[in-house]
Amino acid sequence: MAQVADKVAEAQRRERETRQQLDSPAIDRGPYDGDPEDLAEQWVARHTEWRRIAALMDGQGWPVYSTERDVQGSTWARERDAQREGALARHAAWQREQQDARDELKAQLWLPADVSRRLRAIAARTGLKPEQVLAQLADRVRMDDNGALAVDAFTPR
């Protein structure tokens, strides 16, 4: 119970300090300080949670806090963990998309009229767009030791 009381007092002090920091000019803050509004909100939430725990322990007569007996706190912890895991998964997916976007090549290609007509005819016969035929062609190209490019015969699909 004494440790929880210490945590309540610490959270109250930190909440007060971060509120004061919000009122101070930005020049007084160090270059590595985070967002003071976010920090203030975090300490308000921590202070509220420690007060809830202290009230729960006092109301239930618990000499020691137990997460297993704190149904509400355990539920919130599981929800926070699920949110964190979801955010991490979304961030990882976003990073993969960004990497894929960096690896992609978008090119604008100007072809002579006769080559363009042949490409369009091939695309029409296969039901593909001309860009898709070129992408499949590029996917199959290989370079030999002398730097010459070659593509084996293939049917666009």
Q: What's the pLDDT at 44?
A: 92
Average pLDDT in the chain? 89
67 touches 73 (CB < 8 A): yes
pLDDT in tens, 12-31: 999 888 888 777 766 555 65
Q: What is the pLDDT of residue 26?
A: 60
Asked which of 31-45, 73-87, 93-107 is least confident by mean pLDDT, the reply is 31-45
* 27 or 52, higher pLDDT: 52
Q: What is the pLDDT of residue 28?
A: 56
Q: Region of 34 please: left (phi>0), alpha (psi -120 to 50) or beta.
A: beta
> Is pTM beyond 0.85 here?
no
Statement: residue 33 has pLDDT above 80: no
CA angle 115, 116, 122 (to 5 degrees): 90
Q: What is the pLDDT of residue 79?
A: 94
